[in-house]
Structure 1
Amino acid sequence: MNLQVIFGNFSLILFVLTIISGVIWFLDVLYLAKQRRARANVALAEFDARNLKLQSEGIKLETSGRHALEADLLRQPTWIEYSGSFFPVIALVFCLRSFLYEPFKIPSPSMVPTLLVGDLILVNKFTYGIRLPLINKKIIEINDPKRGDVMVFKYPKDMSLDYIKRVVGIPGDKIVYRNKRLSINGQPAVYAPLPDYLDEERLTYSKQYLESFDGPEHKILNNPLAPNELSNIDAYPMRDACNYNSEGFMCTVPAGHYFMMGDNRDNSADSRYWGFVPDKNIVGKAFYVWMNLGNLKRIGGFQ
């Protein structure tokens, strides 16, 4: 699932605006404001000298003009005033999005029924470590992804795209998916049947189960008409760690990588098709639906 960043993917734009507005703000504080103060001091000295001369000649003057002159001389140019006003706001938004929380929009159904098309979600950017913005390099270790986490990551085949899936396998895990059933390290996942799920747009039903494997329970969908055998498998890196057959596949997750699957199992392009997700691609942990304009009942946390 290719995620859509709320208000567009503008991390780079925010970074550039932060740098430009910050440079202007600091330039004004450290240099331009001092220049305006120096020019004002010269002009005010001339103003005072002229007034003293007029007073010595017996002419009574209105002193309020001095304050107006000083305010006018110290006033920031419009371009500096706006830059200085926007800099703290832009810098705050950039830091929040880069290091704390980032909003995304769900555009496709690969994570149904956990996440629906149109859900606006929040992603925790620091759960899996602090990373430098733009280059996504981890600089502080915090936690590793756990099985069952819903994780946002850079799509391995196109780093400009953000994807969201569920962590099924962590480094070293042996993943087996046969006849639409999952097992990890020889331990089968537990499936509790739920009422069939209705796709209200397509008016079709899917089999729905409560799946659990070494973590919180979560809902998944299966299409009984979809074949067990996977097709159109990419020639991804470390492809030899997986074995595909007519019933499904078996994979051993390499060190430093994760195996991701969508909850809408027969309608999700995930690690089964394009391979493992390197740790360097991790963006953060999705944890909250903060808005769905078509369904306000969707607001809240999810597993």
Structure 2
Amino acid sequence: MSEESQGFGAAIWETVKTIFWALLIAGVFRTLFFQPFWIPSSSMKDTLLIGDFLFVNKMSYGYSYASCPNIKIARFGVDIDASDICGFLDGDNTRLFGSEPKQGDVVVFRHPVTHQDYIKRLVGLPGDKVQMKGGVLYLNDEPVKIEEAGPFTEVKEPQGPEGRFPRCTNDPVGEDGVCVKQRQIETLPNGVAHSMLNIQPNEDLDDTKAFTVPEGHFFFMGDNRDNSLDSRVLQTSFGVGMVPFENLIGRADRVMFSSAGRSMLFFWTWRSDRFFKAID
């Protein structure tokens, strides 16, 4: 074999090793520390907008099987679930170095049925009684404090990769018109205050039965209350239901940047006012 061939083979081998170590380091970083997450839907408006990009802090609540990443590359037929990698940790609803989440945390968790990653606000802790009455959240038979915060407005236009139009209180609104929603500040019993939106009165999920959160589980709701499938809907491939402790992935603390376009790569559509924005 010539020196030139040997040199070429060595270069290829070095490239393979570099890619291997880069992927390994990235995998360890994503599994143990921070996971990137791009907001695909409007269920957390106006706290989180479609196109917000953030990192989920996986150190917040410790580690479980859900800490392992899903690897989905549809183009190449790759569909590896976290349970395929870390399934040996699944089933006992415990966590390594576990730390209890706090009421009001914005949490990314694995859907108990579909295994998709969801992001919602934690409102009910184990043992809590949770109910919606007339669009007001009741915790342990007490209504939470609500204050009017003025309207939330946005342009009626296709949003995100799916190109969905927002729902509006003042519908029907034509494309490029002003879409208005009612905005309120909700204060939870532990003092955490956050913005929430209300689109229409008397929506199906504005009045629910009373739920009691079982031990080792949590109750989640979206801040865009009339446009969120969450723990108010029984656990199926459609609803979320009660979420086990082991399904929590981490806490969302800060938006890194945000794109109003069809892709986060369209830098000319980035929202300049959302760089490094803290999540309340």
For residues 96-131 of structure 1, the C-alpha deviation after alignment (integer angstroms, 9 at most, x for no partner) is: 111100111111100000000100011011211123
Cα distance in 2 for partners of 1:105, 1:251 equals 30
Q: Are the aligned partners of 1:178 and 1:228 in contact in 2 as well (CA < 8 Å)?
A: no
1:216 is aligned to: 192
1:106–1:115 Cα contact (<8 Å) kept: yes
Match of 1:140 in 2: 96
C-alpha distance in 1, partners of 2:119/2:255? 14
Q: CA RMSD in A?
A: 2.4
User: Which residue of structure 2 lines up, in the alignment, with residue 97 of structure 1?
Assistant: 30
- Matched pairs, number: 219
Q: Give the structure with the higher percent helix.
A: 1
Counterpart of 1:301 in structure 2 is 278
CA distance in 2, matches of 1:179, 1:158: 30
1:281 aligns with 2:247: yes
C-alpha contact 1:109 1:264 (8 A) present in aligned 2: yes
d(CA) in 1 for partners of 2:12 and 2:6?
Answer: 16
Alignment of 1:165-244 (within 5 A): 165-201=120-156, 202=166, 203-213=178-188, 214-223=190-199, 225-230=200-205
Equivalent in 201, 223, 226 of residue 263 of structure 1 = 223
Amino acid aligned to 2:272: L
8 Å CA contact retained: 1:130, 1:142: yes
Tell me the CA shift for residue 79 of structure 1.
3.7
- Offset from partner CA, 1:279-299 (integer Å, 9 cap, x none): 121111111111113312112
Q: Distance in 1 between matches of 2:218 and 2:95?
A: 20
User: Equivalents in 1 of 2:207, 2:225: separation in Å?
Assistant: 14
Name the SS for the 2:25 alignment partner: helix
Q: Which runs of 5+ in 2 are unaligned?
A: 69-81, 157-165, 167-177, 234-238, 260-269
Residues 195-214 of structure 1, C-alpha deviations (whole Å, 9 max, x = no match): 11113235321111111112
**In 2, distance between residues paired with 1:79 and 1:145?**
47
Instruction: Give the aligned partner of residue 292 of structure 1.
Output: 258
Equivalent pair of 2:132/2:209 in contact (CA under 8 Å): yes
TM-score between the two structures when normalised by the length of structure 2: 0.71
Task: Flag the structure with more relative contact order, 1 or 2, with Cα contacts below 8 A and sequence separation at least 6.
Answer: 2
Please identify the structure whose Cα radius of gyration is greater.
Answer: 1
Give the secondary structure class of the aligned counterpart of 1:272. coil
Distance 1:76 1:144 in 2: 52
CA distance in 1, matches of 2:8, 2:50: 50
SS in 2 for 1:89: helix
Q: Return the offset for 1:85.
A: 1.7
Q: Give ranges in structure 1 of 5+ residues lacking alignment.
A: 1-67, 231-245
Deviations 1:218-248 (A, max 9, x none): 000112x342444xxxxxxxxxxxxxxx943
Deviates more, 1:293-302 or 1:89-98: 293-302
**How do residues 54-133 of structure 1 correspond to structure 2 at under 5 angstroms?**
77-132=10-65, 133=68
After TM superposition, the runs of 4+ consecutive aligned structure 1 residues lying more than 6 A away are: 71-75
Residue 93 of structure 1 aligns to a residue whose secondary structure is: helix
- Quote the residue 2:161 is aligned against: none
Amino acid at match of 1:257: H
Corresponding residue SS for 1:82: helix
Letter in 2 for 1:289: V
